[in-house]
Amino acid sequence: MTESEHTPRVAVITGASSGIGAATARALHADGYRVALLARRLDRIEALAGELGDGAIAIGADVTDRDAIVAAAARVADELGGADVLVNNAGTMLLGPFSSAQREDYRAMVEVNLLGAITATEVFLDQLKDGGGDLINISSVAGRTARATNGVYAATKWGLNGWSESLRQELLPDVRVTLIEPGVVDTELPTHITHEATRQAVQQGYDAATVKPEEIAEVIAFALSRPRHLAINEILVRPAGQLG
């Protein structure tokens, strides 16, 4: 066996405190990865790291705070030997009719969904390049479509898609770039919507959600498990009953 076959890969997952990020941390840890869980809610990621046990660390970090991401990268290097996989999953979906009343939501979505992913990637890039890495960007069906009241969220996800395609070309073959575009998944994502009527309407759809975060995590783990010569660039994954 070569050294790389003995050494577990290291995955850094942003937004690991709930939903798709937490499920991805569980799935990758079960596949033998060592995992670094990043999020703002330290209590949640510490509890998850404790549950996973050996090879899991929790690092409180806001993706809008570059210094916090730089500090997280230093810990990943020191404690786990550097990242092989970065899952840019942290995100927020603050839907509602376009108006000045929601301008803070627009800033938050751009800063977390788009700039946060860009920042985490530029900070971790040297670690990912060292030995063959993977970058997983969690976009959305909203990175391919748009509808009334989701314009800025869709703009951040369309932005993620364009940036990912550019990076895919720039980083090959050292780092594989994979874009994951889920439809409705049963998570707490809609609970943060500040426009009350929109929150209630969107929550109704999420209350009927059939796809669980664990199913998206399986898709991510599958893409990562392919041999290095095969790059899955993009996965659009909707609930079977979702039209748009």
For ligand NAP, give the closer residue by CB, 175 or 202. 202
Counting DSSP H helices and E strands in the chain, the numbers are 9, 7
Q: What are phi and psi of 79, to 5 degrees?
A: -90, -25
- Tokens representing residue 219 in the block: 């898709």
121/140 with CB nearer ligand NAP: 140
Q: d(Cα 174, Cα 212) in Å, to the nearest integer?
A: 32
Of residues 33, 106, 153, 206, which has the active-site annotation? 153
From the CB of 191, what's the least distance to ligand NAP, in Å? 7
Place of tokens 């991401």: 69
Q: Is 153 a catalytic residue?
A: yes
**CB of 189 vs ligand NAP, minimal distance in Å:** 4
Closest CB to ligand NAP among 127 and 140? 140
The tokens for 188 are 């707490």
Looking at the DSSP assignment, which residues form a beta bridge with residue 133?
Answer: 175
Question: Min. distance of Cβ 17 from ligand NAP in angstroms?
Answer: 4
CB of 15 to ligand NAP, least distance (A): 3
Report, in this order, helix, strand and coil percent for the chain, each rounded to 5: 50, 15, 35
Sites of contact with ligand NAP (CB under 6 A):
14-15, 17-21, 39-41, 62-64, 89-93, 112-113, 138, 140, 182, 184-185, 187-189, 213
Please classify residue 62 by burial: count the beta carbons closer than 10 Å to its beta carbon, then call 0-12 exposed, 13-18 middle and 19+ buried: middle
Nearer to ligand NAP, 90 or 221 (CB): 90
- H or E stretch including 86? strand 85-88
Which residues have a catalytic role annotated? 153
